Chain A
Amino acid sequence: DTEVTQTPKHLVMGMTNKKSLKCEQHMGHRAMYWYKQKAKKPPELMFVYSYEKLSINESVPSRFSPECPNSSLLNLHLHALQPEDSALYLCASSTRLTASNQPQHFGDGTRLSIL
């Protein structure tokens, strides 16, 4: 069982839909991350939140909109996605952004398919 919970596990949406991915952790971690992973590739960093504030945006298109409503929750709002956005979206958390010796803990991801 993972300590980072992601919902839904699978999501199929059309290019005009609006949907949200959710991530929750109760480990008291203050850094949270969104990654995108294509098949047979390592994860690619999208966004980083530190103490509920956006710290890093890796030049992600605006059709992806992150939100961190509190220290335990992280959302990723999706709108007008493209077929190439189909991927596994992983959430992760770690104790603090400055603690580079502390591992990130990953959820099981949301498998997103864009029709």
Chain B
Amino acid sequence: AQSVTQLDSHVSVSEGTPVLLRCNYSSSYSPSLFWYVQHPNKGLQLLLKYTSAATLVKGINGFEAEFKKSETSFHLTKPSAHMSDAAEYFCVVSEAGGGNKLTFGTGTQLKVEL
């Protein structure tokens, strides 16, 4: 069985400061991990994915995430937040042999202040 825990339901940062959104996962098999972003009244947009290649994954819009197997974590970071980054972020796991069935975290609402 697989599960995802997003440790913060809300994160607030100032524009230009670093962003850290935390995600821990549980998986019986080799997982694939994804971060998606959802802006208001929009669908989910893929930010980045980890699929057992490099543990440091770079995504779109300056985001990156590091897969740490020993800590079962896949935290999302960005060096400098922009106002346009304000959105809901979902950490998602897909398990090999799981038929591409996704398990979503509960989401983190990122607020960016001036």
Chains A and B form a bound pair: yes
CB pair A31–B100 under 8 Å, yes or no, is yes
CA distance A108 to B44 in the complex (A): 7
CB pair B99–A56 under 8 Å, yes or no, is yes
Give the contact stretch, choosing among B11-19, B61-69, B79-87, B90-98.
Answer: B90-98
Residue pairs across A and B with CB atoms within 8 Å: the count is 64
Count contacts on A: residues with CB < 8 A to the other chain.
30
A47 to chain B, nearest CB (A): 12
CB pair B97–A100 under 8 Å, yes or no, is yes
B102 interface residue (CB < 8 Å to A): yes
Given A90-B44, A98-B99, A108-B43, does the pair A103, B107 have CB atoms closer than 8 Å? Answer: no
CA distance A58 to B56 in the complex (A): 34
Given A45-B102, A56-B101, does the pair A100, B43 have CB atoms closer than 8 Å? Answer: no
B5: A residues at CB distance < 8 A: none
CA distance A111 to B46 in the complex (A): 21
CB pair A106–B100 under 8 Å, yes or no, is no
A105: B residues at CB distance < 8 A: 46
Task: Given contact pairs A41-B107, A100-B97, enumerate 13 new A-B contacts (beta carbons under 8 Å).
Answer: A41-B106, A42-B106, A42-B107, A45-B101, A45-B102, A96-B100, A97-B99, A100-B96, A100-B98, A100-B99, A101-B96, A105-B46, A106-B36
